């Protein structure tokens, strides 16, 4: 990689990571007036599917529809969007956006033991040490009385951990069983279509549907911005994997976490106790230890996904 190419790739890594980091504060704004998860998920998926349709037209590559591709899209829609986003939208109503960004960093640490269980990765003492550092960081959030702004938030931490667990399962599913020949953009497009088809009747029957005809305010614009940023950051990340390699591109996780916290401080006025800063340091250390090296087998296990 030349110096110019390296500088370009680093710049894009920072851009995509900062964009993904912004989605957590925007999600916090989107739920601020009482919008419910299923309504938000439906419109997020519709926006994503619309953008991916345009990308597919420009690429000249459609979405093959077979029993296998539909099964893949269904699984990714459930594990990669519907379940984790429903949990995240509920949890972020009660938790700081910066804390949600920190917890999302646990994806690689949750992915590693799953990969071990599936026989996808060999045991590594270095990566096991990363798991221990991540666990210590979570304990710093849970145990000290002064760690969270309000101790009642503690009850919502398990729900906040559903999303990183789902994304860890998603990464291992793709690594183990593949995507039926679909590339990353096709998977995202198909999963968005399938997910929207599932979310719409659920949102309507549960009374969570958000009418686009109602007056628009900051929450509605925040949802649109978050959805667009996620799609373009994800597409850019996939491109960066192809240009610079998965081991380089996966470093975006550090940028996502750091900028997510900074965006939350700047946009939402959040502040954090020393325990949360220490927990963030331990979790990022865990991410560093758990992340695969070039010689490791599964460079993309636990790929970062943001809501």
| Helix ranges (DSSP H) in 31-124 | 37-59, 67-77, 83-92, 97-104, 107-117
In tens, the pLDDT along 138-180 reads 999 989 988 898 989 999 999 999 999 999 999 899 888 999 9
300 falls in which pLDDT band (50, 70, 90)? Answer: very low
Are 159 and 95 contacting, i.e. CB atoms less than 8 angstroms apart?
Answer: no
Helix crossing, 67-77 with 162-177: angle to 10°? 160
Gap between the terminal Cα atoms of the chain: 32
Residue % of the chain over a pLDDT of 70: 94
Q: Which residue has the higher pLDDT, 251 or 75?
A: 75
Residue-range domain boundaries for the chain: 3-290
């Amino acid at each position: 990689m030349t110096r110019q190419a390296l500088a370009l790739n680093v710049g894009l890594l920072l851009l995509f990571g900062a964009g993904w980091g912004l989605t957590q504060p925007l999600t916090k704004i989107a739920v601020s007036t009482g919008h419910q998860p299923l309504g938000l998920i439906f419109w997020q998926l519709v926006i994503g599917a619309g953008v991916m349709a345009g990308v597919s037209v420009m690429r000249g590559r459609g979405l093959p529809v077979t029993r296998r591709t539909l099964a893949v899209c269904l699984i990714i829609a459930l594990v990669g969007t519907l379940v984790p986003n429903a949990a995240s939208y509920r949890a972020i109503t009660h938790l700081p956006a910066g804390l949600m960004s920190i917890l999302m960093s646990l994806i690689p640490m949750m992915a590693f033991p799953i990969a071990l269980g599936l026989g996808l990765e060999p045991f590594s003492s270095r990566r096991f040490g990363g798991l221990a550092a991540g666990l210590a960081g979570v304990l710093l959030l849970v145990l000290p009385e002064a760690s969270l702004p309000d101790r009642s938030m503690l009850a919502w931490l398990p729900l906040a951990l559903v999303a990183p667990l789902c994304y860890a399962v998603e990464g291992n599913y793709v690594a183990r069983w593949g995507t039926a020949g679909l590339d990353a953009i096709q998977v995202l497009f198909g999963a968005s279509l399938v997910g929207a088809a599932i979310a719409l009747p659920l949102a309507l029957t549960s009374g969570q549907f958000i009418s686009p005809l109602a007056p628009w305010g900051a929450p509605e614009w925040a949802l649109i911005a978050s959805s667009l940023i996620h799609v373009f950051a994800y597409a850019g990340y996939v491109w960066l994997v192809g240009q610079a390699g998965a081991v380089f591109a996966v470093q975006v996780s550090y940028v996502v976490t750091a900028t997510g916290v900074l965006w939350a401080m700047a946009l939402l006025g959040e502040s954090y106790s020393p325990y949360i800063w220490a927990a963030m340091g331990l979790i990022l250390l865990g991410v560093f230890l758990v992340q695969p090296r070039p010689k490791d087998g599964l460079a993309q296990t636990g790929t970062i996904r943001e809501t």
